[in-house]
Amino acid sequence: MKIIKLQSLCLAAAAAWLAWCPAAKADPADASDPQVDMQIDDQPGYQPSAEEEQLAGPFERQIVFFRTTEAPGTIVVHTADRYLYLVQPNNRAIRYGIGVGRDGFQWAGIRKIIQKQEWPDWRPPPEMIQRQPYLPRFMAGGPGNPMGARALYIGGTVYRIHGTNQPQTIGHAVSSGCFRLVNADVTDLYDRVPVGTKIVVKQAADL
């Protein structure tokens, strides 16, 4: 009887310690949290299914109320919120869910779209090769290319708005500074904006 009681006390003490111990709690850098870097490597050659590319919830493309002084047709990126807005008349915008630069690769500024390309080729930059030495140095455009179906090149930078073959990364900080959308969304954006479009990149949304 004493042995059984002792075992019960030990189990109770262990349970209490596990509930208190910080290591036993959920990792705050959970990949489901859109405000932290998502630890995932690029997957050249992977072709997501139609179901994987179908976004739902807040990151699904939608018309939203959007108050701004920017003219209709302007692209506004709110990096912290993981949204790209295409300004429309009457305080509206088309909102797209995006993946943004990981910590140390985020930026802000006012630029213009200087080039557009369908099914762009992919040349991983040296910083990416250093992190992921297995990556190809060049990959022709097409399904499975990490650049996705379309690319809009941002003047004065090495960055682009482009598609992705990793739809699960939308809403996360994953890239080397580019903004990625699912292929259906980047194609929609591509068809709506001409070369010369103004793009405003903000680290935080307006209060």
pLDDT of residue 16: 39
Respond yes or no: is residue 162 known to be catalytic.
yes
Of the listed ranges 101-110, 137-146, 194-203, the least confidently predicted one is 101-110
Mean pLDDT of the residues in the chain: 81
pLDDT band at 131 (very low <50, low <70, confident <90, very high): confident
**4 or 63, higher pLDDT:** 63
pLDDT of residue 22: 30
Give the distance from CA 129 to its chain's centroid.
Answer: 20
pLDDT band at 2 (very low <50, low <70, confident <90, very high): very low
Respond yes or no: is residue 21 known to be catalytic.
no
pLDDT of residue 29: 36
Candidates 10, 78, 162, 172; catalytic one: 162
* List of long-range contacts for 77-81, beta carbons under 8 Å, 24+ apart: 77/179, 77/199, 77/200, 77/201, 77/202, 78/202, 78/204, 78/205, 79/106, 79/108, 79/201, 79/202, 79/203, 79/204, 80/35, 80/202, 80/203, 80/204, 80/205, 81/205
Give the highest mean pLDDT range of 7-16, 95-104, 132-141: 95-104
Architecture category of domain 57-202 in CATH: Beta Barrel (2.40)
Q: What percent of the chain has pLDDT over 90?
A: 54
Candidates 21, 78, 172, 178; catalytic one: 178
Task: Output the pTM of the full model.
Answer: 0.78
In the predicted model, what is the mean pLDDT of residues 117-124? 91
Domain ranges of the chain: 57-202
Give the highest mean pLDDT range of 16-20, 77-81, 130-134: 77-81
Asked if residue 49 has pLDDT above 50, the reply is yes
pLDDT digits (tens, 9 = 90+) for 15-32: 433 333 333 233 333 434
Of the listed ranges 34-48, 79-93, 123-137, 165-179, the least confidently predicted one is 34-48
In the predicted model, what is the mean pLDDT of residues 122-137? 80
Residue 128 falls in which region: left (phi positive, over 0), alpha (psi -120 to 50) or beta: alpha
